[in-house]
Every structure is written in C-alpha cells, then in structure tokens.
Structure 1
Amino acid sequence: MTVELAPFPPLNRGELTTLQVNLGYRCNQSCSHCHVNAGPTRTEMLADELIDLIPEVLQRQGIQCLDLTGGAPELHPSFRRLVQQVRATGAKVIDRCNLTILSEPGQEDLARFLAHHSVSVVASLPCYSKDNVDQQRGDGVFERSLDGLRQLNALGYGRGDDNRSLDLVYNPLGPTLPPPQAALEADYKRELADLGVRFDRLLTLANMPIQRFARQLERNGELESYQVRLQDAHNPDNLQAVMCRNLFSVDWTGQCFDCDFNQQLGLACQGPIRHLRDLLNPDLTIAGSAIRTEQHCFGCTAGAGSSCGGALQASSS
C-alpha cells in the first residue's frame, strides 16, 4: 500500500555564511551512496571563468567560508589556484576529501599543499571497519584512506589546531538513521587510535533518498519505507539549524541551489539568486527569502538532524 507523505515545513534563509561549490563530478571513486553519481568517467567541471568569480563573490557578500565539493574537488585543474586566491583573502576553505585522492598519481604533494594553506579537511570514512568501508566504497579503499589520514596526521592535522582541522564523515550503510554522534565519535577515536590515526570531530550524516542511493533502495523495495522513517523521525527543533538557511550551493555550471541535495535533483532557487553571477550584487536581500523544500528534506531534520557540519543537536548525540 502506498503511504501518503506529508509536505516538509516552510523554511526561510538566515545570514549567508557559506558558499558551497561543486567543482565537478569527476572522482576516483564510485561510491554506492553517492548522491551526485560521481565517478572516474564524469567530465563535468566548473569553467575557469566562473572559478575566477568566486573570490569576488565571497568578498562582496561578506562570506567567510568556501566549502569545496565534488566528485573529488581536488581533480579540478584550478583547485589549487582557487584555494590560494581564497585563502589570501582570509576566508576559510573546506576541502571535502575522499582521502584516497591523496595517493592518486599526480597528487602526491596534495596533503602538503592543503597543510601549507591551512585548508580544513572534511574526510569521508563511513566506518572504522575495513569490510564496511570497502563494501560501500570499493576494495582497498579502507587501507588507502588510512594512508591518507596518516599523511595528514604527519602534517599536523587532527591535533585540535583550527588551521589544520580534520573531521571525518560517517553515513550509515543502508536505510537507517545515524547513531548518536558523540558516542560514535568516541568509538571512532578508540578504534582509529589503535591504527595510529587521529582526527578532530566525527560528523554523522543521514543518507538522502535521492540519485544512486534512491535507485538502490527502490531495487530493494525499501525506498518508501525509508522516506516514511525519515518523516516519522522529523524533529521541528532542527529547522532553525539546517544548513540551507546559511549557504548557497553552486553546481558546475554556476547555477545556485538552496543545498547540495536540491542541486542534484535540479530544484533551482526560487528567489533572485539563480546563478553565481547574481551574488556579485552586494545589495541583494538574501535573509528571509524562501527556501525550496521537498520530501528529501526530512533527511536533514530526522532525529538529531543532519547537515554538512554533522548532527544539529549535540544534546541528542
């Protein structure tokens, strides 16, 4: 029997603090949960003429954080140039790194580059178990991830230094909500310490029922039940802290979206901000504008909440 799903509550923007830019879908991995369908054969990349606009947009809007995603953002030919330009303005740069990129041919000096420019690293590691990681990300990924973490540790990452912060990202293997973040972080730190690895924080994310993961759920007959699970776990207290209230997500064509998930579903912003170029206008009224929401948004408000910065409620984690 088909279950009628409830609409997601309306949301409005707060202060714009972060510009999240997807530099392209090329990646050295093809993960089963990847909501952007990234992989080695993807060729889409942000044009250099748009790359050149990013530092100016940050300054005109007073945005203090650039969050770089992909694919593997480091595979964009202008990744390093962009990082250097943005760090020269004093803005923070986050690199959402899959760790195995640090051992790809031609990227042997990447970890040193990130450390030299004080880039914050948010690294994907869906479990501290080899079998679970390799099941989700491919054979050998766990060991290569550990090698990447050790490279970063040797350069001062994972020691509580804000200039070299290293956070790990956990997401469940299947259609379940993440466990409490604080308890799981303690487990990660204990298990990885035994492997000679340290990090600063663990960020727990729910898997969004879109793209590759949604198709997997549908094949298994679990898509509807997972959507219901997210809706039933909705916590209205999370609405004020969801990431879309404080960021714009930019795709590889320069189009603007309310979040990375809306980007992958082609759900464009409804307000005056439609393209990266629109953000060059410092007189735009952004706070208070409506955010476009759909059923998948329950993935961000279920339980302790889920965002690019991990769980939204520390007390529930």
Structure 2
Amino acid sequence: MREGIRLDRQDPQVLQLNLGKLCNLTCSHCHVNAGPHRKEIIKSDTVTKIMHWFSMTNIPTLDLTGGTPEMIPDFRRIVEEARNLHTPRKVIDRLNATIIEEPGYEWVAEFLAENEVEIIASMPCYEPENVEKQRGNGVFEKSISAFKKLNELGYGSDPRLNIHFVYNPSADFLPPDQMDLEAKYKVMMREHFQIEFNQLYCITNMPIARFASWLKREGRLDDYNSLLKDAFNPQTINGLMCRDTINVNWLGEVFDCDFNQMLNLPTHTKNRSIKIWEINLKQFSKEPIRTATHCFGCTAGSGSSCGGSLLD
C-alpha cells in the first residue's frame, strides 16, 4: 500500500469463510486455483469450532465461498446453524450456478431459497463465448438454466431472495463503470433469457494464482501490476473490505482477505498466525492489516471488493 496511508480495522461486519478448493470447474481467472481434484475442504470439527465462535459474536453476516461451497459436506449444516442462531445471521453463498445442474445437487436451489440465502454468482458476460472462454465449455447454458430455476423460486423478485451477478474482466484491464454495465446486463438478461437479478458486482482480477500464471505466460504481469498501481485511487481506502471483514480458510486460520489467504499471508498476532476461535475481537481490532503489491487491485479506479466497486 502507498506510504503514509494507514489501514485501521473497523468493527467486523462479515465473517468470510472459505470452505475449501473443491470445485466442479477450473476457471481461468480463479484466484483460488480451485478444481475438481482439490482435496482441501473444511472438516466437521473445524466447522464446530468456527460456528461456536461465530455464535458468540455480533458479526451480522456469514459469507461462504470456495471453490464451490455447496460441494462441501458441511455446507447445509453451516447455513442452517447460522440462520437458526438466537440472532439469525445473514448468509451469503458465492454460488457457482452450474452446480445446480450437476447430478446429486438438485437440492441446492430450493435449500438456498428456504433458508433465504443471498446469492452472489459468477456471470462474467451476457455473451456465451466470453463466459466459456473464462469458465469452460457448456458453462453458459448450465448457468442460464440454473438462474431460471432460481428465478422461479423467487430470486430476483422476492425482496427476501437477492441474487447478484459478478463480472470479471476477460483479460488484463480494469472493469468498466459498474452502474452502466449493470444496466446493460439487466436489459440483455431480461430480453434474451428472461432472467432477473438484483445487482451486478464488478470485481478486478487480482494478479495471483491462475490469472498471474496467464499474465506471466503472456509476458504481461509487470504491465498489469503497473496498471493497478498507476490507477491507485485514495478515495477507495474507506471502503476496503479488509477493514471490516475477517477471512478464514478451511483450516480455521485467519487472513485479512481471500486474496491474502491464497498468497499464504495470514493475519499475525504476536508474530504467529492464529485460528479464528483464538480471537478476542477487542484485541484483534488493534492488529495491523497485511498488505502487498496485489492490494493495488482493490484500490485501482473505482475500487474493488467482494461486493463490487467501492465508488459510484
């Protein structure tokens, strides 16, 4: 991060739990390097410890990501426990919509609706060729079919059932204006596919994992890092997700964001990495936020976060 800029923690609003790297897809932009042969998934005893700690906090939102969260054996348990706490928590599922079309996962759509889980789903374009370039053959058609099923259950129309789409650039450039692109998405998805959604989130590709490997092969990694650094916008600082989000991996280890997690940059307390159930939130608020070069991805242009652009 730029010299002279201090990142202070705010009261945590989100516990983001990465359930593991298992996924039915192998997307080219994936910062997790997820795939169908990955073995890293959260264990039941780790879930028990995390959910007990979570129940003792006032953190209002549980954000489940992966991989494909629904492929994890304890996914339903986690959702139900969070929704049934004495103070029910909002649950977000970062959905890979194609899983709804896979054998054995027919339960996913109705389960999410029954538990009023907010969905954030990858949809990098409204044109099939661009989606399949990033996410693989057949993904667009399966996603459209899944979104129609979710719409039939009330997603996109029932105020209790929000579904948001995520746009990632297809190469090494910054996302366009989020509001303008959302308007185009809504027209195209409605007119061509009769699909409704709530919001579009534009997220900058981080120069890590598979995307970094592609940049290196193309000889464009240095240029992309320079693009992000040159586009630094200090107005994004207040909205950075690392300030009010606690990120946890499948082992229960704490990070300042999912990108730090993939780079193995854990949050340190007394110079050691910590497990989420060891955290005292009052003391944790004083711990420094770890930054590195990739952090310019969140501060470039209109900013970027797991909830899209940081500036209107």
**What TM-score comes out, normalization by structure 1 length?**
0.94
Q: Over residues 164-210 of structure 1, what are the superposed CA-to-partner deviations in whole Å (9 max), with x where a residue is unaligned?
A: 11000000000100000000000000000011101000000000000
The CA distance in 1 between the partners of 2:144 and 2:185, in whole Å, is 13
Contact persistence 1:58–1:64 (CA under 8 A): no
| Alignment partner, residue 177 of structure 1 | 174
| Alignment partner, residue 277 of structure 2 | 277
The CA distance in 1 between the partners of 2:108 and 2:180, in whole Å, is 32
| Alignment partner, residue 191 of structure 1 | 188
The CA distance in 2 between the partners of 1:96 and 1:34, in whole Å, is 13
Q: Over residues 6-63 of structure 1, what are the superposed CA-to-partner deviations in whole Å (9 max), with x where a residue is unaligned?
A: 6694422111111101111000000000011000000111111111123322232211
Contact persistence 2:165–2:200 (CA under 8 A): yes
The CA distance in 1 between the partners of 2:227 and 2:268, in whole Å, is 28
Structure 1 stretch displaced more, 140-149 or 56-65: 56-65
| Alignment partner, residue 128 of structure 1 | 126
1:278 aligned partner, one-letter code: E
Structure 1 residues 224 and 59, CA gap change in structure 2 (3 angstroms)? same
Contact persistence 1:248–1:256 (CA under 8 A): yes
| Alignment partner, residue 54 of structure 2 | 58
Aligned residues: 307
The CA distance in 2 between the partners of 1:219 and 1:6, in whole Å, is 28
| Alignment partner, residue 94 of structure 1 | 92
**What TM-score comes out, normalization by structure 2 length?**
0.95
1:155 aligns with 2:153: yes
Correspondent of 1:253 among 251, 254, 273: 251
SS of the equivalent of 2:235 reads helix
| Alignment partner, residue 266 of structure 1 | 264
The CA distance in 2 between the partners of 1:204 and 1:117, in whole Å, is 26
Structure 1 residues 138 and 7, CA gap change in structure 2 (3 angstroms)? farther
SS of the equivalent of 1:67 reads strand
1:290 offset after TM fit, Å? 1.1
1:288 offset after TM fit, Å? 4.0
Q: Over residues 70-121 of structure 1, what are the superposed CA-to-partner deviations in whole Å (9 max), with x where a residue is unaligned?
A: 1001000110011111100100110000100111111112100000000000
Provide the aligned C-alpha RMSD in A.
1.5
* Residue identity (%): 46
| Alignment partner, residue 212 of structure 2 | 214
Contact persistence 1:44–1:252 (CA under 8 A): yes
The CA distance in 2 between the partners of 1:271 and 1:18, in whole Å, is 20
| Alignment partner, residue 235 of structure 2 | 237
Correspondent of 1:295 among 275, 293, 296: 293
Q: Over residues 143-168 of structure 1, what are the superposed CA-to-partner deviations in whole Å (9 max), with x where a residue is unaligned?
A: 1000111011000001261x211000
1:168 aligns with 2:162: no
The CA distance in 1 between the partners of 2:4 and 2:112, in whole Å, is 39
Q: Over residues 224-269 of structure 1, what are the superposed CA-to-partner deviations in whole Å (9 max), with x where a residue is unaligned?
A: 0000000010001111110000011111111110000000000011
Contact persistence 1:8–1:294 (CA under 8 A): no
Unaligned runs of at least 5 residues, structure 1:
none
2:118 aligned partner, one-letter code: S
Contact persistence 2:101–2:142 (CA under 8 A): yes
1:11 aligns with 2:7: yes
The CA distance in 1 between the partners of 2:262 and 2:5, in whole Å, is 21
Correspondent of 2:32 among 36, 39, 46: 36
The CA distance in 2 between the partners of 1:185 and 1:191, in whole Å, is 10
The CA distance in 2 between the partners of 1:180 and 1:160, in whole Å, is 27
Structure 1 residues 99 and 7, CA gap change in structure 2 (3 angstroms)? farther
Correspondent of 1:80 among 76, 101, 120: 76
SS of the equivalent of 1:296 reads helix
The CA distance in 2 between the partners of 1:8 and 1:201, in whole Å, is 34
| Runs of 4+ in structure 1 over 6 Å off | 5-8
Contact persistence 2:50–2:252 (CA under 8 A): no
Contact persistence 2:50–2:277 (CA under 8 A): no
1:278 offset after TM fit, Å? 1.1
